[in-house]
A and B are shown apart, each in its own frame.
Chain A
Amino acid sequence: MAQISFAHSCLLYASAVFLLCFQIAEVAALSVHGLKTLVVYDKRVTDLEDYSKFFNDLNKRSYELQFSSVNENVSDIQLFRGEERLFDNLIVFPVKSRQVSKGFTAATLLKFFEEGGDILTVTSPYGLTESVRTFLNQLGIFPSPRNHELRDYFEEGNTTSIHFSSSGTLNPTVFSPMKSANLSYEGSAALLDNRDLLIPIFSAPRTSFTKDPKGGDDWTVGLQGYTVVGFQNLHNARVSWVGSDKFFGNSHYNDNGEFVQELAKWTFREKAVIKSTGFKHKHIDGTSYDELPYKVKDSITYEIGFSEWNGKTWIPFNASDIQFELKMIDPYYRLKLLPVRKSEEAQYYSTGNFMLPDHHGVFTFLTEYQRSGLSFVTEKDVKSIRHLANDEYPRSWDITNSWVYLTSICSVIMAWILFVILYISSSSAMNVPAEKKIN
């Protein structure tokens, strides 16, 4: 429950931030949260000029980018000032050095992520700093170590330059291409564990593997290696990892540009962000729980609204796989929510009328919509369903079976009265044979 309340509060927080941004600068409202972004890079591996197209696109979408290289003023790279989170987003380019700074450790990255900061991590076989690796490992992403390269001997020409089609995406929510493009990728691949929160976006080609050219074991083989991976935590913050810095480079931008932008949009929550606009459940005649608490076998209806962020505003969110659960430890009902009405902002879904189970107890009215790639929505309400009160059962004469008993009761009463009357009226005539007793 705590998890849910956390997710809920995170959602609230996110929407509060959003509202704030909305009021301050309507134009800037691209993401559901702020756009203040820190870019951490290493001058030794990264020349920012090579990525100008990528950053220009971000700038065009009014991101406030702040570039910090790890080569000078390392102490400037601070994600927090005291308890306050300084940035909304973080982009980490490959960093060659083992350590960056005290303000940029795996623990601070985890904290940044936990508190709702989105992170785009780019690593390369030559730039994978310890803090980023530890951070990714905690997420269940295990990028290949230093010097390991993704290779594919079926590639023509350079075997380290991998090509795969953008239509092979593993998660259409994060990215579904307008037209298929051939993405070029050069770098490392990662192993993933089986966590549900991981969102694989592209796997390495079937014929590829990751290995240190100097020898050693394979790190990944074939489809078990992944090149682009997303992750969304329970607070709906997102991380994505790409094992190739050249992937973002200007040279490949014609091919990769569309995907890279979509990935950035997903990571920084410009898209695939949904929320619930609130739920309502009530008796079918419209009386609410507060006016008349539920009792067993009452007919009620449940309605919930869903909105999706389209980059400018909240629009109705359409889906056909949202479910409602009425549960008390185990679900008593699992009902498909069907669209009923629409407002400008939200699509409303309803269970229609249904009858509460013939079982009293404290039930949870739960809508849990957690789909890989979309933000998680959990709406939960704990309400008790009482038993029938003593006067809410049908009266005995309403039950036809009881008529035979009622008749017998009545007849006994009548017979008794009759007997008493007869006895009293005839007692004077009766002769008590007192002397008959012999023994």
Chain B
Amino acid sequence: MPEAKSYNLQWLQILLKTAIFLAITGAAVSSRLFSVIRFESIIHEFDPWFNFRATKYLVSNGFYKFLNYFDDRTWYPLGRVTGGTLYPGLMTTSAAIWHALRHIGLPIDIRNICVLFAPAFSGITAWATYHFTCEIKDSSAGLLAAAFIAIAPGYISRSVAGSYDNEAIAITLLMVTFMFWIKAMKTGSIMHSTFAALFYFYMVSAWGGYVFITNLIPLHVFILLLMGRYSTKLYSAYTTWYAIGTIASMQIPFVGFLPIRSNDHMAALGVFGLIQIVALGSFVKSQVSWEKFKTVMVLSLLLLIAVGVSGLFVLTYFGYIAPWTGRFYSLWDTNYAKIHIPIIASVSEHQPTAWPSFFFDTQFLIWLFPAGVFLLFLELKDEHVFVIAYSVLCSYFAGVMVRLMLTLTPIICVCAAVTVSKLFDEYLDFSFLCKKGSSEGVSLRDRTLTFITRVTVCGSMLFYLYLFVYHCTWVTSNAYSSPSVVLPSRNPDGSPALIDDFREAYYWLRMNTAEDAKVAAWWDYGYQIGGMADRTTLVDNNTWNNTHIAIVGKAMSSPQDKAYEILKAHDVDYVLVIYGGLIGFSGDDLNKFLWMVRISEGIWPEEIKERDYFTPNGEYRMDAAASQTMKDSLMYKLSYYRFPSLFNGVEGVDRIRNQRIRQEDIGELDYFEEVFTSENWIVRLYKLKNPDHLGRDLRAVGDFDRNTVKGLKKRSVKKPNLDPRV
């Protein structure tokens, strides 16, 4: 949109922009409210439950206590230094909003603030994307980009109402930081680059993905240096950003000394050093003749590279710089995690992305995206290099991990907006119709043809835009609005129904168990148990201690007597398993079971072997053909206990695995007793039995009780086979 000359037109433009922005924000917020309308105002999924719990703690205990929060209700008995191991940005922001609203006489429940947090911030994201794209192209592209990011499903997937996660605020901050960085880089303004650093700090405080910025900005600078585009503007922008940003980021307890010790941050440091040398070089270049400079440059470059690379190796070898983290390796080698760190691979959002999900998450933007990148290549200004670097890096990462779709979405929107606006720049120009007779050479036929082409192109583009909006709305309402705490379902007559087993079970736990009861469950449910049932858990979604998770995995994969021992040693009172075989809920524990086996095999390779859980043919089965180790495992028993009694008492049909489960394979449960099973059998809760008061093992007790009930009596008295007493 070129700036209008006349005063009135300027006003009209401002008015229009405001109206457009209001509309965009409205669309962004309202499409994110599907989850509240369809379900209710509830915190979604897993991680948000932790963030919500931490926010409540912050609101009721103040910042000092929050900063030093030691949580003794998770990771029993290790506890978690929660205050020092979380990114506090999200919680502090919502607490600040809560306090601010209360201050102006609007006391709002903290839960509602948390639920509506992400939609509110999506408006700001749109605004930041607008300014970012303005810097890249112009304001018409900016408005398009803002509209795209407002409703793109790739971003909505992590920012619907109730999805109170770090990403909800992080994408906003990401775009704001980049916006300021581009401004700073273009102008060399220390103020803008300070703003970039401050927002970088905010980002560091909000999401672990800040490392992306830490690497992308240096990469941008590095490419510019390689292209010979060094300028004092770049120098002042980068050095200011790096110095302030690094010192600020080290104030976050969880980050601490990482920026100078971890390899993930070394690129930024290296580029910081490099830009000093380049600055020195350009200074020297301006002082001496070209020949002299060349020799100096070559020599010093060689020396620097040698010193730098060997220094990095030496420091890493002696442990001054932490080696790359596992998550980093898995970015390059998609099989790395599966072999070395099953705990990372076991998370579904760490799986490689399937091709359809690119289209699903961004619809027609995905094919406009390469076109946009190409268009930027044609111009290749300094800021375009940034967008290109961002696009290339993120496309790769998004291909490796599903969750990184999220960081790719903004740049897809920007590039696609550049394409669309370029197209509209060319084709939406109907001014030639008005210029009657001004150009003699243009015949009526040419004009008509031009008109038809332009109308066709613009019309089809508008149609695509309409389709895009339609697709986004459909995806948002159908795929991304489910809280996953409550599952949508249909009654036999087709009317919608809700499966509310999780909350039913968590509420039962909350009301019927001792306040200090310890619940063992697979780590996926840790945050929910902590948040909804308020009971102590052994492991949760924080996954900071692989061994502790492996302990729970080992208990689940062991026969009941061994499992009982392990769980008792950790003071466990209840075991919670998720079983979806009755209702057809595929995300149940038996389907995750192999990960439990793998993770515990990583720690105890002699005791747990993955192979033992398969049939001799290598099939993963639960029916009569299942291996004995599988049938003995606690997970099998707890999932299927009493299951055939729903059918004929002999055989039950597991709807997820399509297999017949026999009563004789399930056997007796002597060490645990069932205390609760939810309506659709999704959540099953078992209590560890008390040790026998006579010191017998519980299997012997069970056998004795069963024989008593059956009335079996030993007629002849045989001499028992006992070890000599010492």
Contacts and interface: CB of A to CB of B under 8 A. Distances in A.
A382 B691 CA distance: 20
Contacts of B287: 436-437
B68 A389 contact: yes
A106 B694 CA distance: 14
Interface stretch (B76-84, B299-307, B644-652): B76-84
B619 interface: no
A357 B67 CA distance: 22
Interface residues of A, number: 51
A363 B713 CA distance: 47
User: Which among B67, B688, B695, B708 has the greatest number of chain A C-beta atoms within 10 A?
Assistant: B695
A329 B548 CA distance: 12
A7 B547 CA distance: 32
B719 interface: yes
Nearest to B720: A142
Contacts of A138: 694, 696, 704
Contacts of B691: 2-3, 234
A146 B717 CA distance: 9
B693 A6 contact: yes
A386 B70 CA distance: 6
A146 B290 CA distance: 115
Nearest to B84: A387
How many B residues touch the partner, as a band? Answer: 35 or more
B209 interface: no
Interface in A357-382: 360-364, 382
Given A194-B725, A219-B719, A362-B79, A329 B285 contact: no
B722 A193 contact: yes
A390 B68 contact: yes
A219 B693 CA distance: 27
A107 B704 CA distance: 9
Interface string A321-365: 000000011000000000000000000000000000000111110
A328 B694 contact: no
Contact of B688 (A2, A133, A192): A2
Contact of A437 (B77, B286, B573, B689): B286
Contacts of B723: 193-194
A323 to B, nearest CB: 19
Contact of B695 (A191, A196, A362): A196
A360 B80 CA distance: 9
Given A133-B717, A142-B720, A384-B70, A192 B725 contact: yes
Given A1-B571, A233-B693, A191 B67 contact: no
Nearest to B705: A107
B690 A2 contact: yes
Nearest to B718: A145
Instruction: Name the prevailing secondary structure of the B interface residues.
Output: loop
Contacts of A130: 713
Contacts of A439: 285, 289-290
Contact of A106 (B67, B696, B708): B708
Contacts of B571: 1, 364, 382
A192 B719 CA distance: 11
B72 interface: yes
B323 interface: no
Contacts of A234: 691-695
Interface in B71-111: 72, 76-79, 81, 84
Nearest to B536: A362
B516 interface: yes
B162 to A, nearest CB: 31
B77 A363 contact: yes
Interface string B676-697: 0000000000001111111110
A360 B81 contact: yes
B704 A192 contact: no
Interface in A196-210: 196-197, 200
Contacts of B290: 439
Interface in A1-53: 1-3, 6
A390 B695 contact: no
A217 interface: yes
Contacts of B713: 130
A139 interface: yes
Contacts of A364: 77, 571
A114 interface: yes
A404 interface: no
Contacts, number: 111
B725 A361 contact: no
A107 B708 contact: yes
Contacts of B722: 142, 191-194
B253 interface: yes
Interface string B221-246: 00000000000000000000000000
A438 interface: yes
B570 interface: yes
B690 A3 contact: yes
Given A191-B719, A382-B516, A360 B693 contact: no
A247 to B, nearest CB: 22
Interface string B46-67: 0000000000000000001001
Nearest to B726: A194
A384 B725 contact: no
A39 B239 CA distance: 94
A224 B693 contact: no
A378 to B, nearest CB: 12
B444 interface: no
A195 interface: yes
B569 interface: yes
Nearest to B514: A5
Contacts of A137: 720
B724 interface: yes
Interface in A215-231: 217, 219, 224, 231
Contacts of B719: 142, 191, 217, 219
A283 interface: no
Nearest to A193: B722
Interface in A47-76: none
A360 B64 CA distance: 19
Contact of A1 (B72, B573, B704): B573
Given A224-B724, A437-B286, A6 B77 contact: no
Interface in A107-145: 107, 110, 113-114, 130, 133, 137-140, 142, 145
A361 B286 contact: no
A362 B76 contact: yes
Contact of B570 (A114, A142, A233, A329): A329
B312 to A, nearest CB: 23
Interface in B567-586: 568-571, 573
B695 A195 contact: yes
User: Which among A142, A362, A384, A386 has the greatest number of chain B C-beta atoms within 10 A?
Assistant: A362
Interface string A144-159: 0110000000000000
A418 B691 CA distance: 76
Nearest to A105: B708
Contacts of A107: 708
Interface in B191-224: none
Interface string B335-366: 00000000000000000000000000000000
B289 to A, nearest CB: 6
Contacts of B285: 439
The 3 closest A-B pairs by CB, nearest first: A384-B72, A386-B70, A389-B68
Interface of B: 64, 67-68, 70, 72, 76-79, 81, 84, 253, 285-287, 289-290, 516, 568-571, 573, 688-696, 704, 708, 713, 717, 719-720, 722-726
Interface of A: 1-3, 6, 105-107, 110, 113-114, 130, 133, 137-140, 142, 145-146, 191-197, 200, 217, 219, 224, 231, 233-235, 328-329, 360-364, 382, 384, 386-387, 389-390, 436-439
7 contacts: A2-B573, A138-B696, A191-B719, A191-B722, A329-B569, A362-B77, A364-B571
Given A2-B573, A329-B570, 8 more contacts: A2-B689, A130-B713, A142-B719, A142-B722, A191-B720, A387-B84, A389-B67, A436-B287
